[in-house]
Amino acid sequence: MYEYLTGLIAVVAPQYIVVDVNGVGYKLLVANPYRYQVDDHKKVKVYVYQAVRDDDISLFGFVDVQEKNLFMQLINVSGIGPKSALAILANPDHQGLVDAITNDNISYLTKFPGIGKKTASQIVLDLKDKLAKEANGDLFNPSPLSASLTTNQALKDALEALAALGYKERDIKKVEKSLAKEDEMATDEYLRHALRLLN
């Protein structure tokens, strides 16, 4: 039904953002909310997928049409729901994901939360040929970092985002120690570093 929304970012939370479109707030579940910034003046375009179930209607948001297309490919795989697809897409290296699928790298895929060997094999089986045809060098580049936040809050938000994506508490605590030693950075960058350490 929806292709994209253009409006102001009103809320950035660990699992979602709210886009204000002419006074109507749309809650969008996104892979990495901290790529966005609350801004009362700058409009953004967010690509959208609407998921309808018997007891729920959800909107999923994407930074560009390539990310949306990759999401659409993933949710067509048996065993991958929208939330699992978002957890996979939270890793900013989308080209690395495509390469892993096209090169039968099952171990890379099983590092994502909720993805076992069976599901990883199914991803490769279903998507290998499709992505090999579509992929090129710059198709899934990660988006630019958002502006810096204060260190403690940025780190806290990044850790909450990891929990929202389904990572276990013990894994989050491990990466927290490493991230706390880093120089000050934006939440988005903390999250990128954390996902690299986890994967």
How do residues 112-145 score in pLDDT, each as one tens digit?
Answer: 988 999 999 999 999 988 887 665 434 444 333 3
8 A C-beta contact, residue 175 and residue 197: yes
**Quick one: what percent of the chain has pLDDT higher than 90?**
51
Q: Is the pTM of this model over 0.85?
A: no
**Quick one: what percent of the chain has pLDDT higher than 70?**
90
pLDDT at 153 over 90: no
Q: What is the pLDDT of residues 95-113, one digit of tens each?
A: 889 999 999 999 999 999 8
